[in-house]
Amino acid sequence: MSGPVVGPLVVPVAGPVAGSVVSAPNLAGIELMRRGDRAGEERCVLVHGFGLRDAPWPDGVALVRQIHSDIVVDAGAEDADPEVIRKNEPICEGDALITDRPESLIGIKTADCVPILLADPATGAVGAVHAGWRGTAQHIVAGTVREMSARWGVRPENLRAAIGPAIGVCCYQVGVEVARRFGIECSGSVHLDLAKINHQQLVQMGVSNVWVSGECTFCSPLRFYSFRREREQAGRMLSYIGWQKHDGRAF
């Protein structure tokens, strides 16, 4: 298990996750958290990571069939077949997953789109968001925070958020129609900063504790898949978050 991850650091996270071993490094941006300090409670530690190109996927991550929507799915409420989750198959359609259940990993897949992970130390609720330009235009990250608040009383000011590697403003050129969705009028094309727009949406929701990777998936072919660069050949990186049982000794 990794040591504490505090503040805007990029550190390797390695260790057993839900029955498999993540030996390749992932990126982590949220500080180490634990639950279950009271007597009789199950002790859990928060595990999370933004996948790299060659990072193996842990098993048992609840996923959704991503459709560039603003649909937020409560993984615990879906009553999904455990076998489907064990095989990392989608439990339904959507573009963000949330849960407040311990020992439940949720994740989203990206290759240029913005992956965002959320964790609330007060309630234990976590979220994983897939925000491409369509999801960003539909404020999916704000919708996810709102849903976590409505279901479990999550207070935005308590939330920790981490924005993972995505196609950067350096490489993300869009045309007139997409630009217009973000209130930008232009005659040719313009560069969009999707990570920054999602960051702004989080701040507008009252989430101020935000770590930003700042890495561009298009610029770093050895580290990341990029749909724009590799087209149909592009694989996907898994970003995941959740609580894992822990014996409490190795912090």
216 near Zn ion, rule: CB under 5 A: yes
One of 57, 133, 218, 224 touching Zn ion (CB under 5 A):
218
168 near Zn ion, rule: CB under 5 A: yes
Question: Which is closer to Zn ion, CB of 72 or CB of 216?
Answer: 216
CB of 217 to Zn ion, least distance (A): 8
One of 1, 171, 178, 234 touching Zn ion (CB under 5 A):
171
Q: Give the separation between CA 223 and CA 215, rounded to whole angstroms.
A: 10
Between the CA of residue 157 and those of 35, 101, 122, what are the distances in Å?
Answer: 19, 21, 11
Ordered alpha helix ranges (H), the chain:
82-86, 133-137, 140-152, 176-181, 194-204, 227-230
CB of 219 to Zn ion, least distance (A): 3
CB of 171 to Zn ion, least distance (A): 3
For 33, phi then psi, to 5°, come to -130, 150
CB of 109 to Zn ion, least distance (A): 20
Question: Which is closer to Zn ion, CB of 164 or CB of 168?
Answer: 168
3-state helix, strand, coil in the chain (%, to 5): 20, 30, 50
170 near Zn ion, rule: CB under 5 A: yes
114 near Zn ion, rule: CB under 5 A: no
3-state SS, one letter per residue, for 161-191: EEECCECCCCCCEECHHHHHHCCCCCCCCEE
Count of beta carbons in the 10 Å neighbourhood of residue 250: 10
CB of 136 to Zn ion, least distance (A): 17
CB of 230 to Zn ion, least distance (A): 14
169 near Zn ion, rule: CB under 5 A: no
Question: What would you report as the CA-atom Rg of the chain, rounded to the nearest whole angstrom?
Answer: 17
Structure tokens at 2: 């990794």
Question: Which is closer to Zn ion, CB of 57 or CB of 172?
Answer: 172
The angle at the Cα of 86, spanning 80 to 91, to the nearest 5 degrees, equals 35
Question: Which is closer to Zn ion, CB of 58 or CB of 168?
Answer: 168
Which stretch in 23-31, 61-69, 79-87, 218-226 sits in contact with Zn ion by CB under 5 A? Answer: 218-226
Please give the residue whose beta carbon sits closest to Zn ion in the complex.
Answer: 216
CB of 172 to Zn ion, least distance (A): 8
Count of beta carbons in the 10 Å neighbourhood of residue 196: 15
CB-CB contact of 164 with 216 (8 Å):
no
Which stretch in 63-71, 77-85, 217-225, 236-244 sits in contact with Zn ion by CB under 5 A? Answer: 217-225
**Footprint of Zn ion on this chain (CB under 5 A)?**
168, 170-171, 216, 218-219
